[in-house]
Chain A
Amino acid sequence: MSLDVEMAEIAKVFFQESREGLDVMESGLLSLDATADSENINTIFRAAHSIKGGSATFGFTEVAEFTHGVETLLDEMRNGVRPVTSEAIQTLLQACDCLREMVAATEAEQPLDQARIATLNGDIRHILGERPAEKPAVPGHGGADVPAAADPAANGPSGWRIVFEPVVDLLRLRNEPTRMFAELQRSGALSAQADISRLPLLDALEPESCYLSWTIDIAGQIPRAKLDEVFDWVDSHCRLEFTPTGAAAPAVPVAATAAAISAAPAETKAVAAADPERAPTAGAPLQKAGTESGSIRVATEKVDDIINLVGELLITQSMLSGFADGIDPNDLDRLRQGLSQLARNTRELQESVMQIRMLPISFAFNRFPRIVHDLSRKLGKKVELKLTGEGTELDKTVLEKISDPLVHLVRNALDHGLETPDRRLAAGKHETGTIELAAFHEGGNIIIEVRDDGAGLNKARILQKARERALIPADQELTDEQIDNLIFMPGFSTAEQISDVSGRGVGMDVVRRNINDLGGHVQISSRAGLGSTIRIRLPLTLAILDGQLVRVGKEVYIISLLAIVETIQVTKERVNTLAGRAEVFRLRDEYLPVVKLCDQFGVEPDSRSAEDGLLVVVESDGKRAGVLVDDLLAQQQVVIKSLESNFKSVSGIAGATILGDGTVALIIDVPDLIRSIAGRGGEVTAHAA
């Protein structure tokens, strides 16, 4: 009963690990394109092997069988028997996709796509079918091929005698012989004899050590591979001997001991010390698990809980600081000292806790080699993908949400940006185009750039299209930069042909909206013949924000410092009215729409006339507006709390936070505010009146 629950938990880990393994395989296969080095193939093989072993253990036989074919092919490549062809790599990549789907389907307990599995299995067999005849049909696990001639499975022995001598550490390595016996028993009638000769006296006995070894007789026509599967996990921690029994069996015993033991018994310890799943294979150098980043898997909710707690700690601290202003002056210094230390501690704690949520952007970048590989083949273009700054860290939520827009941008760069090889040659460029993805810090932001050295945007055509679709007034003069950024307008697409890659007119505007929703900003610049650069600016995190507290009447609101351009005192002569209602403010050479927070949010202000207040100039998406407030208060870092978790989203409000005095203050959603005045024109003031 509890075992099922436990198994489900372990199975979850298996699914997770399988996905990671598939990612390893995929990136390995993609780099195999260039160089077929044996270390790389080994890595891919090990990943496949782990998936096979795991899926067999959990009884996902279809996954195990499918992976088995993949593994066979990889094994031959590894042993240099099979040349590494691009065709084989392509098939293996497809197999990875298929496996990923199989794993997902298995996890969701959905039926598998049998047709696809069969096709790919056929492809793999087809490649394997061209194999040299002298190699054995059954690949051994752990690299030690069992000679086919000695495998009597084909004749069907009526039983097996298995000698199983585990190392003393077997139990400590989290293997359970009774489970293995139970598994064996499913295949046929089983009788086992334990050898207790190694058993020490009771006072020397360690309960976690395994002193027993067994001689197991199992009846039934069982293929050898089936037995291998059972011992798959322990084969490097024991001595195994399989002897077929019964009339049909040849008399020669097969001494298929684990490679590690027969080849170098001294290595056993080292093997045992290493991750058992990654037992080294014969001939392969003992590889330390160097690729693991030493990370732990933590549920996001747990981290969020800690973040909330730390946020509260900050609130307590600021409450205490406020309190300290009104007590006995003699103790004040010591209290202040203590408080400043508390402030430092809490800030440090907050920073380090925030770090838990930060992930390197390589999580988003890693899918691009594959995407570019597939797409460039499809489009017949030659592309080199360069990734830089993969270690740049970004909040997990931001990372997840930026992934899809990035894919879209890269696809666009490949489809529209880069030219075909012959056009490139004709233009005097190298036939291989370059797409570069770069991430780096700038100020308090993360910048992600997608650069290509393609043809650049066709400004004339963009302008023409925008006028045709009445996206801009026919007579409006635009700068080059403004023209480029027209592609982010809703309903804009200049692709001459609608391909399945891009060109449906949705996309760039969605990309921009997604990025804006993350509090970011996207911009494109391009030069004809030299390529384009798309620049995305994102906040480091969505959980905290540097805020400016502003007061309107008796209420306090927060505006993100990132959105504020400047704050100015209003003079009467610079405020004008449009159509008698909407007010605009002349700032140097531009006119800004004035948003009166008091009207917008229905607050009673100190004074209704603009010149008594302060104008906070905010910017989002290249558009500016002046927000009229009564007073500026402090600037402080605030922990963003969602309104939606207990209420719902409110237009013009991005969230809430808790101030030092324990009260709630609302955070103004600047992009939404600007969008609303852009969308409704002069109606803003009329609406609120």
Chain B
Amino acid sequence: MSTAKATAGADRSAADSSEQYLTFMLAGEEYGVDILRVQEIKGWDKVTRIPHTPDYVLGVINLRGAVVPILDLRRRFGLETIDFGPTTVVIVVRVVSGRSERTVGVVVDAVSEVYNVDASDTKPPPDVCGSVDTMFVKALATIEDKMLILLDIDRLIGNSIIDELLPAGAAA
């Protein structure tokens, strides 16, 4: 894949093997997504609920004329839900599944940082990786003595959407 462009003040990224990740917080853990996939970050706003969908699909919003689904990552990972607060944000990402590209918003506790992650700093995920199914984890990275969980957004969201629907009623 393409590498992140070196930005001013980010001289560490000069190496070809480094990629930029946007990180966010979720129940105390820090996750990262490829910044090239992030379209925008917006505040939490009311959604229109869709019937017959799993509970982590909160609904759809109007994003400048496009109807975009919003997923709750806490629910997706089976974490305890919290009330949405002032730091709660929706990260709008582009997801590739098969030949089609979708725009999907994910609700997270808060956005954190943008890091340059060098390939040499990453490790493959161990079998057990917090509350997240390892198939959604691309790698673990260590930055400034913190652990980042780098997510494979295509798998995570592609899977969430294509997943067989839970019976209606479970959504309520």
Chain A residues with a Cβ under 8 A of chain B: 308-309, 311-312, 315, 555, 600-603, 641-643, 645-648, 650-653, 656, 658, 662-666, 687-689
A601–B48 alpha-carbon span in the complex (Å): 12
23 contacts between A and B (CB under 8 A): A308-B65, A311-B65, A315-B65, A601-B52, A602-B168, A603-B51, A641-B66, A642-B67, A645-B102, A646-B68, A646-B69, A647-B50, A648-B161, A650-B53, A651-B52, A652-B52, A656-B67, A658-B67, A663-B46, A664-B60, A664-B61, A664-B62, A688-B169
Q: Chain A nearest CB: distance from B29 CB in Å?
A: 27
Q: Are B50 and A650 in contact (CB under 8 A)?
A: yes
**Chain B residues closer than 8 Å to A647, beta-carbon distance:** 50, 57, 60, 67, 69, 102, 104, 161
Q: Are B67 and A664 in contact (CB under 8 A)?
A: yes
**Chain B residues closer than 8 Å to A652, beta-carbon distance:** 51-52
Counting CB contacts under 8 A, is B88 at the interface? no
**Chain B residues closer than 8 Å to A603, beta-carbon distance:** 49, 51
A601–B59 alpha-carbon span in the complex (Å): 13
**Chain B residues closer than 8 Å to A687, beta-carbon distance:** 168
Q: Chain B nearest CB: distance from A683 CB in Å?
A: 12
Q: Which of A643, A646, A662 has the most CB of B within 10 A?
A: A646
Which of A309, A602, A643, A689 is B67 in contact with, Cβ under 8 Å?
A643
Q: Are B65 and A653 in contact (CB under 8 A)?
A: no
B83-107 vs A, Cβ < 8 Å mask (1 yes, 0 no): 0000000000000000000111000
Counting CB contacts under 8 A, is B171 at the interface? yes
B11-53 vs A, Cβ < 8 Å mask (1 yes, 0 no): 0000000000000000000000000000000000011111111
Counting CB contacts under 8 A, is B64 at the interface? yes
**Chain B residues closer than 8 Å to A645, beta-carbon distance:** 66-67, 102
Q: Which of B61-78 contact A (CB under 8 A)?
A: 61-62, 64-69
Counting CB contacts under 8 A, is B162 at the interface? yes
A652–B168 alpha-carbon span in the complex (Å): 12
7 interchain residue pairs of minimum CB distance: A601-B51, A664-B48, A647-B69, A602-B172, A312-B65, A656-B67, A646-B102
Q: Are A653 and B69 in contact (CB under 8 A)?
A: no
Query: Beyond the given A600-B51, A641-B66, could you list 4 further A-B residue pairs with CB under 8 A, ordered by the A residue number?
Result: A647-B50, A650-B52, A663-B46, A664-B62
Q: Are A602 and B51 in contact (CB under 8 A)?
A: yes
Q: Are B162 and A555 in contact (CB under 8 A)?
A: no
Assess A643 versus B60: contact at CB under 8 Å? Given A602-B168, A602-B169, A688-B168: yes
Assess A312 versus B64: contact at CB under 8 Å? Given A600-B51, A647-B102, A647-B161: yes
**Chain B residues closer than 8 Å to A312, beta-carbon distance:** 64-65
Q: Are A602 and B171 in contact (CB under 8 A)?
A: yes
Q: Chain A nearest CB: distance from B70 CB in Å?
A: 10
**Chain A residues closer than 8 Å to B65, beta-carbon distance:** 308-309, 311-312, 315, 641, 658
A77–B62 alpha-carbon span in the complex (Å): 63
A687–B53 alpha-carbon span in the complex (Å): 15
A324–B50 alpha-carbon span in the complex (Å): 31
Q: Which of B53, B59, B168 has the most CB of A within 10 A?
A: B168
> Who on chain A is nearest to B163 by CB?
A648
Q: Are B51 and A658 in contact (CB under 8 A)?
A: no
**Chain A residues closer than 8 Å to B172, beta-carbon distance:** 602
Q: Chain B nearest CB: distance from A459 CB in Å?
A: 41
**Chain A residues closer than 8 Å to B57, beta-carbon distance:** 647
Which of A309, A311, A666, A689 is B48 in contact with, Cβ under 8 Å?
A666
Q: Are A665 and B48 in contact (CB under 8 A)?
A: yes
Q: Which of A666, A687, A689 has the most CB of B within 10 A?
A: A666
Q: Are A650 and B67 in contact (CB under 8 A)?
A: no
**Chain B residues closer than 8 Å to A602, beta-carbon distance:** 51, 168-169, 171-172
**Chain B residues closer than 8 Å to A662, beta-carbon distance:** 62
Assess A648 versus B51: contact at CB under 8 Å? Given A308-B65, A658-B65, A662-B62: no
**Chain B residues closer than 8 Å to A641, beta-carbon distance:** 65-67
Q: Chain A nearest CB: distance from B40 CB in Å?
A: 14
> Who on chain A is nearest to B46 by CB?
A663
Q: Chain A nearest CB: distance from B129 CB in Å?
A: 27
Which of B52, B67, B168 is A646 in contact with, Cβ under 8 Å?
B67
**Chain A residues closer than 8 Å to B68, beta-carbon distance:** 646
A602–B104 alpha-carbon span in the complex (Å): 23
> Who on chain A is nearest to B169 by CB?
A602
Q: Chain B nearest CB: distance from A679 CB in Å?
A: 15
A207–B126 alpha-carbon span in the complex (Å): 71
**Chain B residues closer than 8 Å to A658, beta-carbon distance:** 62, 65, 67
A651–B51 alpha-carbon span in the complex (Å): 9
A662–B48 alpha-carbon span in the complex (Å): 11
B105-126 vs A, Cβ < 8 Å mask (1 yes, 0 no): 0000000000000000000000
A641–B66 alpha-carbon span in the complex (Å): 8
Q: Are B51 and A650 in contact (CB under 8 A)?
A: yes
A645–B59 alpha-carbon span in the complex (Å): 15
> Who on chain B is nearest to A600 by CB?
B51
Q: Chain B nearest CB: distance from A619 CB in Å?
A: 22
Q: Are A646 and B103 in contact (CB under 8 A)?
A: yes
Assess A646 versus B66: contact at CB under 8 Å? Given A656-B60, A688-B168, A688-B169: yes
> Who on chain A is nearest to B60 by CB?
A664
> Who on chain A is nearest to B95 by CB?
A646
**Chain A residues closer than 8 Å to B69, beta-carbon distance:** 646-647
A648–B102 alpha-carbon span in the complex (Å): 10
> Who on chain B is nearest to A689 by CB?
B169
A122–B156 alpha-carbon span in the complex (Å): 60
**Chain A residues closer than 8 Å to B61, beta-carbon distance:** 664
**Chain B residues closer than 8 Å to A666, beta-carbon distance:** 48, 50-51
**Chain A residues closer than 8 Å to B67, beta-carbon distance:** 641-643, 645-647, 656, 658, 664
A613–B12 alpha-carbon span in the complex (Å): 65
